[in-house]
Amino acid sequence: MNQGQQAMTDKQPSFSLTRNTGLRYFLASLCALGVDYVLTLSLFHLTHVNLSLAAAASFILVGFVFYFVHEFWTFRSSESQVSRHRLLSNLAVLLLAGLVRVILIFLLESWKAPLGILASIYFAIGVAGSFTTNFVLNRFFVFRR
């Protein structure tokens, strides 16, 4: 192998999961979103609670579980360990981001009942608001190291 080939094999691509916190957050969030979506709509359709309540309950439950994903994978560092402070901070961020989601969904529900595809559209709009809130606060406040 010549020096040029060796140099190319030694370099990690810039989109590497080992270096890109944003990409890891995106992938973890996609997984969490899938679980959240199924749980939200299951609660909505099976228990007949309103969509806002189903979304809030699901968001908090899934968010709590994903604290551990964020601690040990998404925002991992050599100092990663279960931290009561980060767990509580993450839960506070979840409450705020969840509030953003629920308010957006509630406003949409107040405007028009979430029948058919509208339930998924309202959920997606709420997700966009909570996703942004959650990433910014977790990345720059909870898991800053």
Judge whether 92 lies within some domain: yes
How many distinct structural domains can be found in the chain?
A: 1
Q: Look at residue 130 and give its three-state secondary structure.
A: helix
- Per residue in 2-15, pLDDT tens? 555 554 444 545 55
Judge whether 113 lies within some domain: yes
Judge whether 47 lies within some domain: yes
Residue 121 confidence (pLDDT) above 80: yes
Judge whether 14 lies within some domain: no
Rounded CA-CA distance 136/19 in Å is 18
- Per residue in 59-98, pLDDT tens? 889 988 888 988 888 887 777 788 888 889 988 998 898 8
Tokens (6 digits) for 35: 């679980």
Residue 75 is classified by DSSP as T
**What pLDDT score does 55 carry?**
84
Domain span at 81:
21-142
Judge whether 110 lies within some domain: yes
Of 112, 31, 98, the C-alpha closest to 59 is 98
Residue scoring higher pLDDT (77 or 57): 57
Judge whether 39 lies within some domain: yes
Per DSSP, the chain holds a count of helices (H) and strands (E) of: 5, 0
